[in-house]
Amino acid sequence: MELLWDGLREGFRLLFTGNREVIEITIRSLLISGSAILIALTIGALAGYFLATQRFWGRNFVLSLVNTGMGLPPVVVGLFVAIMLWRSGPLGLLNLLYTPGAMVIAQATLATPIITGFTVASIQSLHPKLRLQIMALGASRWQTIWLLLREARLPLLAGVMAGFGAAISEVGASLMVGGNIKGETRVLTTATVLETGKGNFEMAIALSVVLLILIYAVNLVLTYVQQRERPA
Amino acid sequence: MPDVRMAVRDVLVRRGEHVILTVPHLEVWAGEVLAVVGPNGAGKSTLIQVMALLERPAAGSVFFDGHRVEGDRLPYRRRMAMLFQEPLLLDTSVEKNVRSGLSLRGVPRSEQARRTAYWLERLGIAHLARRPARSLSGGEAQRVSLARALALEPEVLLLDEPFAGLDPSIRESFLSDLEGILHEGRLTTVFVTHDRAEALRLGDRVAVMMGGSIRQVGTTAKIFAAPVDEEVAAFVGVETVVRGRLQSLADGLATIDVGGAAVQAIVPALDPGAAVLVCLRPEDVILEPAGLESHPTSARNHLRGTVRRITTVGGQVRVALDCGFTLVALITKQSLEELSLGVGDEVAASFKATAVHVIPRGT
Q: Residue B243's domain is classified under what CATH number?
A: 2.40.50.100
Inter-chain touch A132–B105, beta carbons under 8 Å: no
Residue A61 C-alpha, separation from nearest chain B C-alpha, in angstroms: 21
Inter-chain touch A135–B148, beta carbons under 8 Å: no
Which of the listed residues B206, B234, B262 is the one where a domain comes to its end?
Answer: B234
In this structure, what are the phi and psi dihedrals at residue B265, rounded to the nearest 5 degrees?
A: -150, 160
Q: Show Cβ contacts of residue B9 under 8 Å, excluding neighbours closer than 6 positions.
A: B24, B25, B60, B61, B63
Burial class (CB in 10 A: 0-12, 13-18, 19+), B198: buried
* Residue of chain B nearest A146, judged by CA positions: B104
Q: Are residues B244 and B201 in the same domain?
A: no
CB atoms within 10 A of CB A1: 5
Write out the residue range of the structural domain in which residue B250 sits. 238-360
Q: Are residues B82 and B118 in the same domain?
A: yes
Residue A133 C-alpha, separation from nearest chain B C-alpha, in angstroms: 7
Cβ within 8 Å of A, B 276-295: none
Domains and CATH numbers, chain A: 16-186 (1.10.3720.10)
What per-residue confidence (pLDDT) applies to B293? 62
Q: Are residues B243 and B332 in the same domain?
A: yes
3-state SS assignment for residue B73: coil
Tens digit of each residue's pLDDT (9 = 90 or more) over A34-46: 999 999 999 999 9
3-state SS assignment for residue B290: coil
Report how many domains make up chain B: 2
Q: Is the Cβ of A227 closer than 8 Å to some Cβ of chain B? A: no
Distance CA B210, CA B213 (A): 6
What per-residue confidence (pLDDT) applies to B110? 94
Inter-chain touch B86–A129, beta carbons under 8 Å: yes
Q: Is the Cβ of B43 closer than 8 Å to some Cβ of chain A? A: no
Q: Is the Cβ of A129 closer than 8 Å to some Cβ of chain B? A: yes
Q: Are residues B243 and B200 in the same domain?
A: no
Q: Are residues B211 and B276 in the same domain?
A: no
Q: Is the Cβ of B81 closer than 8 Å to some Cβ of chain A? A: yes
Distance CA B267, CA B90 (A): 56
What per-residue confidence (pLDDT) applies to A66? 93
Q: Is the Cβ of A214 closer than 8 Å to some Cβ of chain B? A: no
Distance CA A68, CA A70 (A): 5
Q: Is the Cβ of B78 closer than 8 Å to some Cβ of chain A? A: yes
Cβ within 8 Å of A, B 322-351: none
Inter-chain touch B100–A230, beta carbons under 8 Å: no
Give the one of B52, B91, B132 whose C-beta lies nearest to A136's C-beta: B52
Q: Are residues B140 and B266 in the same domain?
A: no
Q: Are residues B223 and B318 in the same domain?
A: no
pLDDT over threshold 50, residue A232: no
Q: Are residues B24 and B148 in the same domain?
A: yes
Q: Are residues B206 and B252 in the same domain?
A: no
Q: What is the pLDDT along chain B (363 residues), one digit of tens a residue?
A: 788 999 999 999 998 889 999 999 999 999 999 999 988 888 999 999 999 999 999 999 999 998 999 989 999 999 999 999 999 999 999 999 999 999 999 999 999 999 999 999 999 999 999 999 999 999 999 999 999 999 999 999 999 999 988 888 888 888 888 988 988 888 999 999 988 878 878 888 999 999 899 999 998 777 877 788 878 887 877 778 788 888 888 888 899 998 888 999 988 778 888 888 888 888 899 998 887 667 778 888 989 999 998 888 778 888 888 888 888 899 998 888 888 888 899 999 999 998 888 887 755
Q: Are residues B118 and B105 in the same domain?
A: yes
Which of the listed residues B212, B234, B256 is the one where a domain comes to its end?
Answer: B234
Q: Is the Cβ of A229 closer than 8 Å to some Cβ of chain B? A: yes
pLDDT over threshold 80, residue A10: no
Inter-chain touch A137–B100, beta carbons under 8 Å: yes
Q: Show Cβ contacts of residue A6 under 8 Å, excluding neighbours closer than 6 positions.
A: A201, A202
A68 in Cβ contact with A140 (< 8 Å): no
Cβ within 8 Å of A, B 162-201: none
Give the one of A130, A132, A136 whose C-beta lies nearest to B81's C-beta: A136
Per CB-CB distance under 8 Å, the chain B contacts of A153 are 91
What per-residue confidence (pLDDT) applies to B183? 83
Give the one of A132, A143, A230 whose C-beta lies nearest to B104's C-beta: A143
Q: Are residues B252 and B219 in the same domain?
A: no
Interface test with B, best of A135, A137, A141, A156 (most B CBs within 10 A): A137
Per CB-CB distance under 8 Å, the chain A contacts of B52 are 136
Which of the listed residues B234, B252, B269 is the one where a domain comes to its end?
Answer: B234
Interface test with A, best of B88, B98, B105 (most A CBs within 10 A): B88
Q: Are residues B64 and B194 in the same domain?
A: yes
Q: How many CA atoms lie within 13 A of B124 on its CB side?
A: 9
Q: Is the Cβ of B159 closer than 8 Å to some Cβ of chain A? A: no
CATH number, position B162:
3.40.50.300
Q: What ipTM does the predicted assembly reach?
A: 0.81
Cβ within 8 Å of B, A 108-127: 127
Per-position b or e across B150-181, b if 16+ CB within 10 A of its CB: bbbbbbbbbbbbbbbebeeebbeebbeebeeb
What per-residue confidence (pLDDT) applies to B92? 92
Q: Dump strand ranges (E) for chain B.
A: 4-15, 18-29, 33-37, 59-64, 67-68, 80-83, 156-160, 188-193, 205-210, 213-219, 240-250, 253-258, 261-266, 275-280, 286-289, 301-313, 316-322, 326-332, 346-351, 357-360
